[in-house]
Protein backbone atom coordinates (compact mmCIF):
# COMPACT_ATOMS: atom_id res chain seq x y z
CA UNK A 1 0.00 0.00 0.00
CA UNK A 2 1.34 3.43 -0.91
CA UNK A 3 0.35 6.84 0.34
CA UNK A 4 -1.90 7.03 -2.72
CA UNK A 5 -3.71 3.83 -1.84
CA UNK A 6 -4.37 5.03 1.69
CA UNK A 7 -5.48 8.40 0.42
CA UNK A 8 -7.86 6.85 -2.07
CA UNK A 9 -9.31 4.81 0.78
CA UNK A 10 -9.62 8.05 2.76
CA UNK A 11 -7.30 6.72 5.45
CA UNK A 12 -5.14 9.40 6.98
CA UNK A 13 -1.60 8.09 7.47
CA UNK A 14 0.83 9.41 10.08
CA UNK A 15 2.92 10.76 7.17
CA UNK A 16 -0.02 12.77 5.86
CA UNK A 17 -0.75 14.06 9.32
CA UNK A 18 2.88 15.11 9.84
CA UNK A 19 3.13 16.88 6.48
CA UNK A 20 -0.27 18.56 6.75
CA UNK A 21 0.83 20.10 10.03
CA UNK A 22 3.95 21.50 8.37
CA UNK A 23 1.80 22.96 5.62
CA UNK A 24 -0.78 24.55 7.88
CA UNK A 25 -3.59 22.65 6.17
CA UNK A 26 -5.85 19.87 7.32
CA UNK A 27 -4.79 16.24 6.91
CA UNK A 28 -7.94 15.66 4.89
CA UNK A 29 -7.01 18.40 2.44
CA UNK A 30 -3.54 16.95 1.94
CA UNK A 31 -4.90 13.43 1.65
CA UNK A 32 -7.24 14.55 -1.14
CA UNK A 33 -4.34 16.11 -3.04
CA UNK A 34 -2.41 12.84 -2.76
CA UNK A 35 -5.39 10.81 -3.90
CA UNK A 36 -5.81 12.87 -7.04
CA UNK A 37 -2.09 13.13 -7.75
CA UNK A 38 -1.69 16.86 -7.10
CA UNK A 39 0.72 16.18 -4.25
CA UNK A 40 3.17 13.50 -3.16
CA UNK A 41 4.93 12.66 0.07
CA UNK A 42 8.62 11.79 0.00
CA UNK A 43 8.74 9.01 2.52
CA UNK A 44 9.61 5.56 1.30
CA UNK A 45 7.89 2.63 2.96
CA UNK A 46 11.07 1.97 4.92
CA UNK A 47 10.41 5.00 7.10
CA UNK A 48 14.09 5.94 7.17
CA UNK A 49 13.60 9.66 7.80
CA UNK A 50 11.52 11.58 10.28
CA UNK A 51 11.66 14.95 8.52
CA UNK A 52 9.62 13.98 5.49
CA UNK A 53 7.83 16.51 3.32
CA UNK A 54 5.06 16.84 0.81
CA UNK A 55 5.33 18.54 -2.58
CA UNK A 56 2.46 19.78 -4.66
CA UNK A 57 -0.21 22.26 -5.50
CA UNK A 58 -1.11 24.75 -2.77
CA UNK A 59 1.78 23.58 -0.58
CA UNK A 60 4.93 25.51 0.30
CA UNK A 61 7.45 25.46 -2.54
CA UNK A 62 10.19 22.97 -1.65
CA UNK A 63 13.89 23.12 -2.46
CA UNK A 64 16.18 20.23 -3.38
CA UNK A 65 19.97 20.22 -3.15
CA UNK A 66 22.10 18.04 -5.42
CA UNK A 67 25.28 16.59 -3.99
CA UNK A 68 27.49 13.63 -4.86
CA UNK A 69 30.79 12.61 -6.38
CA UNK A 70 31.74 13.05 -10.00
CA UNK A 71 34.25 11.02 -12.01
CA UNK A 72 36.68 13.92 -11.51
CA UNK A 73 36.02 14.79 -7.89
CA UNK A 74 35.13 12.13 -5.38
CA UNK A 75 35.52 13.07 -1.74
CA UNK A 76 33.09 11.42 0.64
CA UNK A 77 33.97 13.78 3.48
CA UNK A 78 33.20 16.85 1.37
CA UNK A 79 29.86 15.50 0.19
CA UNK A 80 28.84 14.72 3.77
CA UNK A 81 29.78 18.26 4.76
CA UNK A 82 27.55 19.52 1.95
CA UNK A 83 24.76 17.32 3.26
CA UNK A 84 25.06 18.65 6.79
CA UNK A 85 25.25 22.26 5.63
CA UNK A 86 22.19 21.74 3.40
CA UNK A 87 20.19 20.36 6.31
CA UNK A 88 21.34 23.25 8.53
CA UNK A 89 20.26 25.73 5.87
CA UNK A 90 16.85 24.05 5.59
CA UNK A 91 16.93 22.18 2.31
CA UNK A 92 13.76 20.10 2.01
CA UNK A 93 15.31 17.17 0.15
CA UNK A 94 18.69 16.11 -1.17
CA UNK A 95 19.63 14.15 -4.27
CA UNK A 96 22.78 12.06 -4.36
CA UNK A 97 23.86 12.41 -7.98
CA UNK A 98 27.10 10.53 -7.54
CA UNK A 99 28.61 8.93 -10.61
CA UNK A 100 31.74 6.83 -10.82
CA UNK A 101 33.27 4.26 -8.55
CA UNK A 102 32.27 5.50 -5.11
CA UNK A 103 28.51 5.41 -5.72
CA UNK A 104 27.59 2.65 -3.27
CA UNK A 105 29.62 3.94 -0.38
CA UNK A 106 28.46 7.50 -0.96
CA UNK A 107 24.77 6.63 -1.05
CA UNK A 108 25.06 4.48 2.05
CA UNK A 109 26.69 7.31 3.99
CA UNK A 110 24.29 9.93 2.70
CA UNK A 111 21.28 7.83 3.65
CA UNK A 112 22.75 7.19 7.07
CA UNK A 113 23.41 10.88 7.67
CA UNK A 114 20.42 12.47 6.05
CA UNK A 115 17.45 13.46 8.18
CA UNK A 116 15.61 14.63 5.05
CA UNK A 117 14.29 12.67 2.06
CA UNK A 118 16.93 11.42 -0.40
CA UNK A 119 16.59 11.02 -4.15
CA UNK A 120 18.86 9.35 -6.70
CA UNK A 121 19.25 8.72 -10.41
CA UNK A 122 19.65 4.92 -10.36
CA UNK A 123 20.98 4.73 -13.92
CA UNK A 124 24.23 6.17 -12.56
CA UNK A 125 24.77 3.13 -10.40
CA UNK A 126 23.87 0.76 -13.23
CA UNK A 127 26.31 2.59 -15.51
CA UNK A 128 29.04 2.33 -12.91
CA UNK A 129 28.50 -1.43 -12.48
CA UNK A 130 28.63 -1.95 -16.24
CA UNK A 131 31.84 0.09 -16.46
CA UNK A 132 33.41 -2.12 -13.83
CA UNK A 133 32.15 -5.46 -15.16
CA UNK A 134 32.08 -4.90 -18.89
CA UNK A 135 34.35 -1.92 -19.47
CA UNK A 136 31.61 0.40 -20.69
CA UNK A 137 28.22 1.64 -19.61
CA UNK A 138 27.12 1.12 -23.19
CA UNK A 139 27.18 -2.62 -22.49
CA UNK A 140 24.90 -2.30 -19.44
CA UNK A 141 22.07 -4.86 -19.45
CA UNK A 142 18.48 -4.24 -18.41
CA UNK A 143 18.81 -6.56 -15.43
CA UNK A 144 21.60 -4.42 -14.02
CA UNK A 145 19.38 -1.37 -14.28
CA UNK A 146 16.56 -3.08 -12.43
CA UNK A 147 18.92 -4.42 -9.82
CA UNK A 148 20.18 -0.90 -9.15
CA UNK A 149 16.63 0.32 -8.69
CA UNK A 150 15.84 -2.44 -6.23
CA UNK A 151 19.14 -2.11 -4.35
CA UNK A 152 18.63 1.60 -3.85
CA UNK A 153 14.96 1.14 -2.92
CA UNK A 154 16.00 -1.34 -0.24
CA UNK A 155 18.61 1.09 1.04
CA UNK A 156 15.84 3.59 1.79
CA UNK A 157 15.89 6.05 -1.10
CA UNK A 158 12.71 8.14 -1.18
CA UNK A 159 12.57 9.21 -4.81
CA UNK A 160 14.08 8.17 -8.13
CA UNK A 161 14.64 10.23 -11.22
CA UNK A 162 14.06 8.03 -14.23
CA UNK A 163 14.51 9.36 -17.75
CA UNK A 164 11.54 7.55 -19.22
CA UNK A 165 10.51 10.24 -21.69
CA UNK A 166 13.47 9.60 -23.95
CA UNK A 167 12.16 7.19 -26.55
CA UNK A 168 13.15 6.28 -30.08
CA UNK A 169 10.38 8.60 -31.17
CA UNK A 170 11.34 11.57 -29.02
CA UNK A 171 14.98 11.16 -30.06
CA UNK A 172 13.91 11.31 -33.69
CA UNK A 173 12.17 14.62 -32.95
CA UNK A 174 15.41 15.79 -31.32
CA UNK A 175 17.41 14.72 -34.36
CA UNK A 176 15.23 16.85 -36.63
CA UNK A 177 15.47 19.85 -34.30
CA UNK A 178 18.07 22.54 -34.82
CA UNK A 179 18.95 22.92 -31.18
CA UNK A 180 21.97 24.94 -30.17
CA UNK A 181 22.64 22.33 -27.47
CA UNK A 182 20.94 19.01 -28.20
CA UNK A 183 21.09 17.57 -24.68
CA UNK A 184 22.15 18.74 -21.23
CA UNK A 185 20.77 15.93 -19.10
CA UNK A 186 23.48 13.55 -17.89
CA UNK A 187 21.03 10.71 -17.26
CA UNK A 188 19.28 11.42 -20.53
CA UNK A 189 22.55 11.30 -22.44
CA UNK A 190 23.57 8.01 -20.81
CA UNK A 191 20.27 6.42 -21.82
CA UNK A 192 20.41 7.90 -25.32
CA UNK A 193 23.95 6.67 -25.90
CA UNK A 194 22.97 3.23 -24.62
CA UNK A 195 19.89 3.10 -26.89
CA UNK A 196 22.04 4.00 -29.89
CA UNK A 197 24.76 1.47 -29.01
CA UNK A 198 22.28 -1.34 -28.37
CA UNK A 199 19.69 -0.23 -30.91
CA UNK A 200 17.00 -0.73 -28.29
CA UNK A 201 14.08 1.20 -26.85
CA UNK A 202 14.65 3.00 -23.53
CA UNK A 203 14.16 0.33 -20.83
CA UNK A 204 12.65 2.92 -18.46
CA UNK A 205 9.94 3.44 -21.05
CA UNK A 206 9.65 -0.14 -22.30
CA UNK A 207 9.46 -1.70 -18.85
CA UNK A 208 7.65 1.15 -17.17
CA UNK A 209 5.11 -1.23 -15.65
CA UNK A 210 7.86 -3.14 -13.88
CA UNK A 211 9.23 0.12 -12.54
CA UNK A 212 5.77 1.00 -11.29
CA UNK A 213 5.55 -2.34 -9.46
CA UNK A 214 8.84 -1.67 -7.76
CA UNK A 215 7.89 1.93 -6.90
CA UNK A 216 4.59 0.65 -5.49
CA UNK A 217 6.32 -1.98 -3.39
CA UNK A 218 8.61 0.53 -1.66
CA UNK A 219 6.37 3.60 -2.07
CA UNK A 220 9.13 5.40 -3.92
CA UNK A 221 8.09 8.65 -5.59
CA UNK A 222 9.00 8.54 -9.28
CA UNK A 223 10.38 11.79 -10.64
CA UNK A 224 9.95 11.58 -14.38
CA UNK A 225 13.17 13.09 -15.73
CA UNK A 226 13.30 15.58 -18.57
CA UNK A 227 16.22 14.32 -20.60
CA UNK A 228 15.22 16.69 -23.38
CA UNK A 229 15.04 19.85 -21.29
CA UNK A 230 16.41 22.88 -23.12
CA UNK A 231 19.96 23.87 -22.17
CA UNK A 232 19.86 27.15 -24.10
CA UNK A 233 17.14 29.77 -24.15
CA UNK A 234 17.01 29.45 -27.94
CA UNK A 235 15.94 25.82 -27.49
CA UNK A 236 13.21 26.50 -24.93
CA UNK A 237 9.70 25.12 -25.42
CA UNK A 238 10.68 23.45 -28.70
CA UNK A 239 9.20 20.36 -30.34
CA UNK A 240 11.63 17.94 -28.66
CA UNK A 241 10.86 19.29 -25.19
CA UNK A 242 7.11 19.18 -25.75
CA UNK A 243 7.24 15.71 -27.31
CA UNK A 244 8.96 14.39 -24.18
CA UNK A 245 6.53 16.23 -21.89
CA UNK A 246 3.59 14.55 -23.62
CA UNK A 247 5.20 11.13 -23.15
CA UNK A 248 5.69 11.93 -19.47
CA UNK A 249 2.03 12.95 -19.26
CA UNK A 250 0.97 9.51 -20.49
CA UNK A 251 3.26 7.83 -17.97
CA UNK A 252 1.77 9.96 -15.18
CA UNK A 253 -1.64 8.46 -16.00
CA UNK A 254 -0.21 4.94 -15.88
CA UNK A 255 1.51 5.62 -12.56
CA UNK A 256 -1.69 6.94 -11.02
CA UNK A 257 -3.60 3.88 -12.13
CA UNK A 258 -1.15 1.79 -10.12
CA UNK A 259 -1.23 4.05 -7.02
CA UNK A 260 2.36 5.14 -7.57
CA UNK A 261 3.33 8.66 -6.48
CA UNK A 262 4.76 10.65 -9.35
CA UNK A 263 6.18 14.10 -10.09
CA UNK A 264 7.48 15.56 -13.35
CA UNK A 265 10.79 17.29 -13.98
CA UNK A 266 11.11 20.47 -16.02
CA UNK A 267 13.57 22.88 -17.58
CA UNK A 268 16.27 24.12 -17.79
CA UNK A 269 16.98 27.32 -19.75
CA UNK A 270 13.80 29.30 -20.44
CA UNK A 271 13.42 33.04 -21.11
CA UNK A 272 11.23 34.94 -18.63
CA UNK A 273 8.39 35.34 -21.12
CA UNK A 274 8.02 31.57 -21.63
CA UNK A 275 8.00 30.47 -18.01
CA UNK A 276 4.26 30.78 -17.42
CA UNK A 277 3.56 28.83 -20.60
CA UNK A 278 5.93 26.06 -19.51
CA UNK A 279 4.12 25.65 -16.22
CA UNK A 280 0.71 25.64 -17.86
CA UNK A 281 1.82 23.03 -20.40
CA UNK A 282 3.14 20.72 -17.71
CA UNK A 283 -0.01 21.07 -15.63
CA UNK A 284 -2.10 20.35 -18.73
CA UNK A 285 -0.19 17.41 -20.26
CA UNK A 286 0.69 15.86 -16.91
CA UNK A 287 -2.75 16.37 -15.33
CA UNK A 288 -1.56 18.61 -12.49
CA UNK A 289 1.26 16.32 -11.35
CA UNK A 290 3.67 18.26 -9.11
CA UNK A 291 6.27 20.06 -11.21
CA UNK A 292 9.95 19.90 -10.26
CA UNK A 293 12.03 22.46 -12.13
CA UNK A 294 15.79 22.74 -12.55
CA UNK A 295 16.06 26.50 -12.74
CA UNK A 296 14.78 27.69 -15.08
CA UNK A 297 17.77 29.83 -16.00
CA UNK A 298 16.56 32.98 -17.70
CA UNK A 299 19.69 33.64 -19.76
CA UNK A 300 22.72 31.65 -20.90
CA UNK A 301 25.58 34.05 -20.25
CA UNK A 302 25.82 34.15 -16.47
CA UNK A 303 28.32 31.36 -15.80
CA UNK A 304 29.61 31.84 -12.28
CA UNK A 305 26.27 33.35 -11.22
CA UNK A 306 23.76 30.75 -12.31
CA UNK A 307 22.35 30.52 -8.80
CA UNK A 308 21.00 34.00 -9.60
CA UNK A 309 19.64 33.23 -13.09
CA UNK A 310 18.00 30.17 -11.52
CA UNK A 311 16.59 32.17 -8.61
CA UNK A 312 14.97 34.59 -11.04
CA UNK A 313 13.45 31.79 -13.11
CA UNK A 314 12.66 29.63 -10.11
CA UNK A 315 10.79 32.41 -8.31
CA UNK A 316 8.69 33.07 -11.37
CA UNK A 317 8.11 29.37 -12.06
CA UNK A 318 7.00 28.72 -8.49
CA UNK A 319 4.77 31.79 -8.60
CA UNK A 320 3.08 30.37 -11.71
CA UNK A 321 2.65 26.97 -10.09
CA UNK A 322 5.89 24.97 -10.04
CA UNK A 323 5.97 23.04 -6.77
CA UNK A 324 9.56 21.99 -6.25
CA UNK A 325 12.79 23.81 -7.12
CA UNK A 326 16.08 22.08 -7.73
CA UNK A 327 18.84 24.41 -6.63
CA UNK A 328 21.52 25.58 -9.04
CA UNK A 329 24.94 26.63 -7.78
CA UNK A 330 27.29 29.36 -9.03
CA UNK A 331 29.48 26.48 -10.24
CA UNK A 332 26.85 25.27 -12.73
CA UNK A 333 28.41 24.84 -16.20
CA UNK A 334 31.90 25.30 -14.76
CA UNK A 335 32.93 22.79 -12.12
CA UNK A 336 31.93 20.30 -9.46
CA UNK A 337 30.50 22.49 -6.68
CA UNK A 338 32.39 23.32 -3.50
CA UNK A 339 30.79 23.61 -0.06
CA UNK A 340 30.51 27.38 -0.58
CA UNK A 341 28.82 26.86 -3.96
CA UNK A 342 26.26 24.56 -2.32
CA UNK A 343 25.57 27.17 0.33
CA UNK A 344 25.09 29.95 -2.22
CA UNK A 345 22.91 27.81 -4.45
CA UNK A 346 20.65 26.65 -1.64
CA UNK A 347 20.07 30.12 -0.20
CA UNK A 348 19.29 31.54 -3.65
CA UNK A 349 16.71 28.80 -4.25
CA UNK A 350 15.19 29.28 -0.82
CA UNK A 351 14.80 32.99 -1.56
CA UNK A 352 13.06 32.12 -4.83
CA UNK A 353 10.76 29.59 -3.16
CA UNK A 354 9.84 31.87 -0.28
CA UNK A 355 9.24 34.90 -2.53
CA UNK A 356 6.94 32.80 -4.69
CA UNK A 357 5.09 31.48 -1.65
CA UNK A 358 4.34 35.04 -0.52
CA UNK A 359 3.14 35.94 -4.00
CA UNK A 360 0.98 32.88 -4.54
CA UNK A 361 -0.66 33.36 -1.19
CA UNK A 362 0.62 30.35 0.72
CA UNK A 363 -0.96 30.80 4.14
CA UNK A 364 1.19 32.81 6.56
CA UNK A 365 4.21 32.79 4.23
CA UNK A 366 4.55 36.53 4.80
CA UNK A 367 4.57 36.34 8.61
CA UNK A 368 8.32 35.80 8.58
CA UNK A 369 8.80 38.95 6.47
CA UNK A 370 6.52 40.97 8.68
CA UNK A 371 8.48 39.99 11.78
CA UNK A 372 11.66 40.93 9.96
CA UNK A 373 10.32 44.31 8.89
CA UNK A 374 9.09 45.03 12.38
CA UNK A 375 12.58 44.29 13.75
CA UNK A 376 14.15 46.36 10.97
CA UNK A 377 12.02 49.38 11.76
CA UNK A 378 12.99 49.12 15.43
CA UNK A 379 16.65 48.66 14.41
CA UNK A 380 16.64 45.57 16.58
CA UNK A 381 19.83 44.19 15.05
CA UNK A 382 19.96 41.03 17.09
CA UNK A 383 16.45 40.04 16.10
CA UNK A 384 17.03 41.14 12.52
CA UNK A 385 20.07 38.91 12.20
CA UNK A 386 18.43 35.91 13.81
CA UNK A 387 15.39 36.25 11.52
CA UNK A 388 17.37 36.56 8.31
CA UNK A 389 17.56 33.63 5.89
CA UNK A 390 21.24 33.09 6.70
CA UNK A 391 21.96 34.52 10.15
CA UNK A 392 25.65 33.62 9.88
CA UNK A 393 26.12 35.72 6.73
CA UNK A 394 24.02 38.62 8.04
CA UNK A 395 26.00 38.68 11.25
CA UNK A 396 29.29 38.60 9.37
CA UNK A 397 28.33 41.57 7.20
CA UNK A 398 26.82 43.54 10.05
CA UNK A 399 29.84 43.05 12.29
CA UNK A 400 32.54 43.57 9.67
CA UNK A 401 32.51 47.30 10.41
CA UNK A 402 31.38 49.04 13.58
CA UNK A 403 28.77 51.78 13.21
CA UNK A 404 29.35 55.02 15.14
CA UNK A 405 25.77 54.78 16.44
CA UNK A 406 25.01 51.16 17.24
CA UNK A 407 21.31 51.68 16.54
CA UNK A 408 22.06 52.50 12.87
CA UNK A 409 24.22 50.90 10.19
CA UNK A 410 27.27 52.21 8.36
CA UNK A 411 25.36 52.93 5.18
CA UNK A 412 23.15 55.79 6.34
CA UNK A 413 24.66 56.45 9.78
CA UNK A 414 23.22 59.62 11.24
CA UNK A 415 20.89 60.00 8.26
CA UNK A 416 19.12 56.69 9.01
CA UNK A 417 15.67 57.18 7.46
CA UNK A 418 13.92 55.00 10.00
CA UNK A 419 15.38 57.01 12.85
CA UNK A 420 14.66 60.39 11.23
CA UNK A 421 11.08 59.63 10.31
CA UNK A 422 10.26 58.34 13.78
CA UNK A 423 10.60 61.86 15.12
CA UNK A 424 8.48 63.30 12.29
CA UNK A 425 5.53 61.03 12.75
CA UNK A 426 5.30 61.25 16.51
- Residue 76 lies near a copy of itself (rule: CB under 8 A): no
The span from the CA of 380 to the CA of 2, in Å, is 48
Taking the least distance from each CB to a copy of itself, the nearer of 257 and 415 is 415
Residues between 125 and 154 that touch a copy of itself (CB under 8 A): 127
* Among residues 4, 34, 95, 99, the one that binds a copy of itself under rule CB under 8 A: 99
* Among residues 24, 71, 88, 115, the one that binds a copy of itself under rule CB under 8 A: 71
- Residue 339 lies near a copy of itself (rule: CB under 8 A): no
Phi (first) and psi of residue 66, to 5 degrees: -95, 130
Q: Using CA atoms in the order 288, 291, 297, 303, what is the torsion angle rounded to 10 degrees?
A: -170
Taking the least distance from each CB to a copy of itself, the nearer of 18 and 324 is 324
Mask 188-207, x = binds a copy of itself (CB under 8 A)? xxx-xx-xx-----------
- Residue 212 lies near a copy of itself (rule: CB under 8 A): no
- Residue 280 lies near a copy of itself (rule: CB under 8 A): no
* Among residues 33, 186, 256, 283, the one that binds a copy of itself under rule CB under 8 A: 186
* Among residues 40, 53, 174, 328, the one that binds a copy of itself under rule CB under 8 A: 174
- Residue 413 lies near a copy of itself (rule: CB under 8 A): yes
CB 362 within 8 A of CB 70: no
Q: Which residues contact 337 (CB under 8 A, 6 or more apart)?
A: 82, 329, 330, 331, 345
* Among residues 106, 110, 355, 362, the one that binds a copy of itself under rule CB under 8 A: 355
The minimum distance between CB 140 and a copy of itself, in angstroms, equals 13
Bridge partners, residue 39, by sequence: 56
* Among residues 308, 325, 342, 362, the one that binds a copy of itself under rule CB under 8 A: 308
The minimum distance between CB 350 and a copy of itself, in angstroms, equals 9
Taking the least distance from each CB to a copy of itself, the nearer of 10 and 399 is 399
Amino acid sequence: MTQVTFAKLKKITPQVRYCAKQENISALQLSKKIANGQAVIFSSSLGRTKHICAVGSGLKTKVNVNIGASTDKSDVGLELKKLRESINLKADTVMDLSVGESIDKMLQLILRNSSIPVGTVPIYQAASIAEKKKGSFLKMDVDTIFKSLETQAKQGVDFFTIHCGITKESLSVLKKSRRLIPMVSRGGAIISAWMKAQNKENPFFEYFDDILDLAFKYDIVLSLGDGLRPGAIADATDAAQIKELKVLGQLVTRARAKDVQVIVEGPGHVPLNQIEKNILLEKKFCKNAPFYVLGPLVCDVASGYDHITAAIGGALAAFYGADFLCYVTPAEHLRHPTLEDVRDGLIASRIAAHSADIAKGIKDANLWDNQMSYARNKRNWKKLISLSIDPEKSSKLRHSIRPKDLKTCTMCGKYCSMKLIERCLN
